[in-house]
Structure 1
């Protein structure tokens, strides 16, 4: 007879140590910090149970006593960097200002830890630091007159937008590293090709756009701020 599938488990529901026996040699914070160091230096694919075990100085099989699954390790990592949010003080009373601040903090965290865009998930929203962030979000949104579910949607959309923005930055940076010429030269070549296609008349709406003049790309931070402002505008109560 086939064995019964393992029951789902939340790593945070497991006691880090029991009341009996010697104190564990390593803490979850130690393990998470080691994994984050590896991911920051060499990327997420470099994070393995074997390498994390070597980083903290224990055997690979011993590490499984602390972290049963690779997914649990990712959850510890995401929670650790979620602790980088500055949640000191109280909400300002201006929900837009508070959400703008949290979005910019998220941008900084994801830029410092670029691997996180690959593993960030609502699955990891029950960790201690994630719950602190979510509670701050809800406190900041008390003055926004929309249903509670809409407030959660707003937070989800901000996170998703920041993740997409950072992922695009990463893709551009990776492309730049992989070619032997400058990003400016490639952009010029691609721009010239695009213009040659637009001038064929096959794309009349693009031709009309270029005829009106397209502003050159500006400061990426300004582009981020515009994106965020438009997102927040969409949640302003109407009338």
Structure 2
């Protein structure tokens, strides 16, 4: 089925047509087993194994045992492939909140689900964000997040803003933890030693008179213990949800 081209709406970009199964398939060629989904799945396998930088049309073609030009009959460009990879990489949304869950439990589950995806597939963080969600899987995630806020006092725009705030926090935390882990490995620092090593360096560098607040933190011993990333994530998420709850209470008055 081809995309609508009349006055009912804008012409959909080819990548969006492909994501929604609206793009006409190329005629049967010498490799009838190839399809958009097999190409995208192969690209995801490459990214999972070697990172996003390893993904190219030629590398994906090699993964499939096909000629590079054969891929362009199904996927028009690298940018189109990346958009489809993100949709597949995220996978199915976590599902709507359980009937017994309140909005907070539902959003906590939703945020942790995205957190897990981004930790498992950190290459997703390197794909440039070019706009709001528009593919089937990513819209499924948005739908499930919004359904967590059904029945609350928030306006529809506030619900969208709350989800943007939460997913931004999730992506930021995942980016930081991934970069720290990568730099630790590059420096030969074992897991659990990053913060203690940092504390030892600070003791040699900071002047209590110039950095009194930082010195108090250092003296407390907090920095001598490596962070529990899950605890750090929970702390930040809880503070964001506290703010959303405070807004709900104001709207309910």
TM-score interval, smaller chain = 0.7 to 0.9
Q: What is the alpha-carbon distance in structure 1 between the residues aligned to residue 81 and residue 151 of structure 2?
A: 37
Residues 94, 141 of structure 2: 8 Å contact kept: no
Question: Which consecutive unaligned segments of at least 5 residues does structure 2 have?
Answer: 1-10
Question: Which consecutive unaligned segments of at least 5 residues does structure 1 have?
Answer: 1-6
After superposition, residues 121-160 of structure 1 pair within 5 angstroms as 121=129, 123=131, 125-160=133-168
Match of 1:103 among 100, 108, 111: 111
Instruction: Determine the structure 2 residue equivalent to 1:204.
Output: 212
Match of 2:174 among 158, 166, 170: 166
Q: What is the alpha-carbon distance in structure 2 between the residues aligned to residue 88 and residue 56 of structure 1?
A: 36
Q: Which moved more, 1:146-155 or 1:36-45?
A: 146-155
SS in 2 for 1:230: helix
Give the TM-score normalised by structure 2.
0.80
Measured against aligned partners, the alpha-carbon deviations of 1:169-208 in whole angstroms (never above 9, x if no partner) come to 2122212211245455664443123134333411123234
Residues 91, 139 of structure 1: 8 Å contact kept: no
> Do the aligned partners of residues 198 and 62 (structure 1) sit closer, same or farther apart at CA in structure 2, a change above 3 Å counting?
same
User: Over aligned residues, Cα RMSD in angstroms?
Assistant: 2.7
After superposition, residues 24-173 of structure 1 pair within 5 angstroms as 25-87=33-95, 92-119=100-127, 121=129, 123=131, 125-173=133-181
SS in 2 for 1:235: helix
Residues 195, 226 of structure 2: 8 Å contact kept: no
Q: What is the alpha-carbon distance in structure 2 between the residues aligned to residue 100 and residue 120 of structure 1?
A: 26
Could you tell me how far 1:47 is from its partner in structure 2? 0.2
Instruction: Determine the structure 1 residue equivalent to 2:240.
Output: 231
Residues 94, 143 of structure 1: 8 Å contact kept: no
SS in 2 for 1:160: helix
Q: What is the alpha-carbon distance in structure 2 between the residues aligned to residue 186 and residue 100 of structure 1?
A: 28
Q: Which moved more, 1:118-127 or 1:156-165?
A: 118-127
> Do the aligned partners of residues 92 and 129 (structure 1) sit closer, same or farther apart at CA in structure 2, a change above 3 Å counting?
farther
SS in 2 for 1:238: helix
Instruction: Determine the structure 2 residue equivalent to 1:3.
Output: none
Give the TM-score normalised by structure 1.
0.84
SS in 1 for 2:244: coil
Instruction: Determine the structure 1 residue equivalent to 2:13.
Output: 9
Q: What is the alpha-carbon distance in structure 1 between the residues aligned to residue 116 and residue 77 of structure 2?
A: 28
Q: What is the alpha-carbon distance in structure 2 between the residues aligned to residue 115 and residue 121 of structure 1?
A: 13
Measured against aligned partners, the alpha-carbon deviations of 1:18-38 in whole angstroms (never above 9, x if no partner) come to 5x9448542222111101100
